[in-house]
Structure 1
Amino acid sequence: MKILHFADLHLDTRFDRAGPARRKAQRDTLALIVELACAQQVDALLCAGDLYEHDRFSPDTAAFLRSAFDIDVPVYLAPGDDDWYGPQSLYQQVDWSPNVHVFTEEALEPVELTDGVTLWGGAHCEPSGGKGFLEEFTVNRGGVNLALFHGPSPADVEITGLDHAFLGHEHTPAHAARYTYPGNPDPLTSGETGERGAVLCTVNPDGTVSRQTHDVSVSRSRGLVVPDVIASPSAVDHGWFVEERTVRGQFVRDVLASSLEPATRDRVLAMGLAALEER
């Protein structure tokens, strides 16, 4: 069977610069992930937590996620410590389409993906994270057993009887024989390393997993992630801002149309964009 796995998108997070454009890029990244899941005709789309920021989400985010996941693919969501499951969580507020399953318990609970394949999923129910999901856990059924949760690297996946764990929390991608961390699919900082994205996984009949990472980052493709906007302003793709019908877009259009020297123009753009972001 085929699974597409991602984690740690952190919708609605705060960025130091170009925040609105970056947050729009995050949404477009999720749209690419969903599009990939449908194009690959996967059997399940998995998200291992920190899909959004609990302290910053809006009703618009809830509506966006409801629409994004209304597809002909089963979707399984395991809340993390930044999007923890609780009475006020977005997970509780959305009237999800029937294909979406949200795990709601701290103890891993089983869901049958297909005949002979079980997915064990769990949720963080408080921001502190609670106990480890594999503590005192043992598989109690045959077939292929997979896990989905948000947490630190588990050294004891094999002894629990699990064949593979699809995980979130570590932003640096890590692929091991028994677990997969996809990394955050759209960069959150400029210094991130590793081949990150959405990971297309083939689960073999013996429980082993083969993987292929797909780059789905919209922030990178639009030139929104640079080491330092002030120190290296010419690295920014200002063409993205030009298209905006906003105060920021008008500012960029006016500066680009001016007769300023390139170096001066870039400094003005960088400082102006930073100031607008702080408004």
Structure 2
Amino acid sequence: MTIKFIHTADLHLGSTFNHASFPRDIAKNRREEMWDTFFDIIQLAKKESTNFLFISGDLFEDHLITIGQVKRINEAFKSIPETNVIISPGNHDYYWDRSPYKKIEWNPNVTVFKTRKLTKVSFPELQTNVYGFAWTTKYIEEPFTFDLGELDESQENILLLHGDVYNKNSQYLPIDKDHLATFPFQYIALGHIHKQDEIQKNMRYAGSPEPLDFGEVGDRGVLLGVIGVHKLQVQFVPMAKREFFIKEVECTPEMTYEEILYKLCSFKDRKNLYRLHLKGFRDSDINIEQLMEEATKEFYYVEINDSTRPDYDLEKIYLENKDNIIGMFIDEMKRLDLEEQKNKDALYLGLEALLKESEPCI
């Protein structure tokens, strides 16, 4: 018997991006794209004729999703009746008295775990047992423990968990991966961490199929797996409509306005979202605010953070200010080793402040 599955998690449908840095129109577009990716996952299940769709928590945002949207999710599951959809609610869609999971009647092919007790669901025709449980509160600080007894090793045994294998002090269900590995599961489908990661060959985070912010750089997608005669094969399938990128742009005093602009715009992209960090030293006469505003027009979305320092002509500034506080400051700083970056940074920061103070009021 061979079974085929898709493993996903952390879709966060209904998210409003209220705390994200991008503007309302970008947030609206990203919400729509997250729904599009969800439907793409459904189409992948249909195309691959998967036996299972495993969702390891945070399918939606409990306090933001509407009943209409939950019905929309259910209709999508209805379109893949041959695929068993197994949902293990996490900390963002936890199962409680007013949970959206309780407000509709789910299709016959959908199983939602409902209690904190580890539960087994059997599929005899597929010779498969699926284990999982539901978060019933926003936090679970106690480490994950369970007593399964003996697993029936004549079956394919699969576990869905939403928790944290990296931090033993996590508020989000700390999991001892070494202890978990002692159980003979053919596959452990993890959720909560938004980056795809292979903890062990049979234990993986699927990551989020769509990145939510600049903390989630890199490609995103789902895991497509096949289990046959206790042998496992898993492949990553990219799904995301867009990616987040973080890049550094090094400036030097010799670079002109146009050269810095060209270097920034070498990343220009009408699809993805960028955070660019300008660093180094630049000609003090360059209008960096104007430059960043001009570069921004070339992107779908970009944040440009300027941490450059103007490259000052110290001798000229000293001669012009040797009888005031600016000259005294330069004298003091020259006693330090200005080849050391921290000393050079301190000199330039101080000069910026003092020169700004000395500008005439208009």
TM-score, reference length from structure 2? 0.60
| 1:129-278 → structure 2 map (5 Å cutoff) | 129=140, 131-143=142-154, 144-153=156-165, 154-175=177-198, 176-193=200-217, 195-206=219-230, 208-220=231-243, 225=244, 227=246, 235-237=269-271, 263=294, 266=297
Tell me which residue corresponds to 1:247: none
Tell me the SS of whatever aligns to 1:94: coil
1:136 Cα deviation after fit: 3.5
Distance 1:35 1:109, change over 3 A: same
1:82 Cα deviation after fit: 1.0
1:108–1:133 CA contact under 8 A, matched in 2:
no
| 1:97-112 → structure 2 map (5 Å cutoff) | 97-112=107-122
More displaced, 152-161 or 135-144?
135-144
Distance 1:236 1:197 in 2: 21
Distance 1:182 1:3, change over 3 A: same
Tell me which residue corresponds to 2:14: 12
1:6–1:199 CA contact under 8 A, matched in 2:
yes
Give the counterpart letter for 1:123 in structure 2: A
Tell me which residue corresponds to 1:259: none
Distance 2:299 2:179 in 1: 53
1:267 Cα deviation after fit: 8.6
Distance 1:151 1:159 in 2: 18
Is residue 90 of structure 1 aligned with residue 100 of structure 2? Answer: yes
Distance 2:107 2:224 in 1: 23
Give the counterpart letter for 1:172 in structure 2: K
Distance 1:264 1:49, change over 3 A: closer
Tell me which residue corresponds to 1:38: 46
Distance 2:299 2:232 in 1: 50
Give the counterpart letter for 2:97 in structure 1: P
Give the counterpart letter for 1:60 in structure 2: G
Distance 1:201 1:44, change over 3 A: same
Give the counterpart letter for 1:199 in structure 2: L
1:263 Cα deviation after fit: 2.6
Give the counterpart letter for 2:55 in structure 1: C
Tell me which residue corresponds to 2:29: 21
TM-score, reference length from structure 1? 0.77
Match of 1:128 among 105, 116, 139: 139
Extract unaligned runs of 5+ from structure 2.
Answer: 166-176, 248-263, 273-292, 303-362
- Larger RCO, structures 1/2 (Cα 8 Å, 6+ apart): 1
Distance 1:47 1:268 in 2: 34
Distance 1:169 1:269 in 2: 29
| Residue deviations 1:146-170 (CA, integer Å, cap 9, x gap) | 1012112222223233232111011
Distance 2:72 2:107 in 1: 12
Distance 1:54 1:167 in 2: 20
Tell me which residue corresponds to 2:340: none
Tell me which residue corresponds to 2:73: 65
Give the number of the structure whose residues are more often strand, by fraction: 2
- Aligned identity (percent) is 25
Distance 1:210 1:236 in 2: 36
Distance 1:270 1:198, change over 3 A: closer
Distance 2:56 2:144 in 1: 13
1:218 Cα deviation after fit: 2.2
1:90 Cα deviation after fit: 1.4
- State the number of aligned residues: 241
Give the counterpart letter for 1:19 in structure 2: A
| Residue deviations 1:20-45 (CA, integer Å, cap 9, x gap) | 11111110010000100010001111
Distance 1:77 1:263, change over 3 A: same
Distance 2:127 2:300 in 1: 57
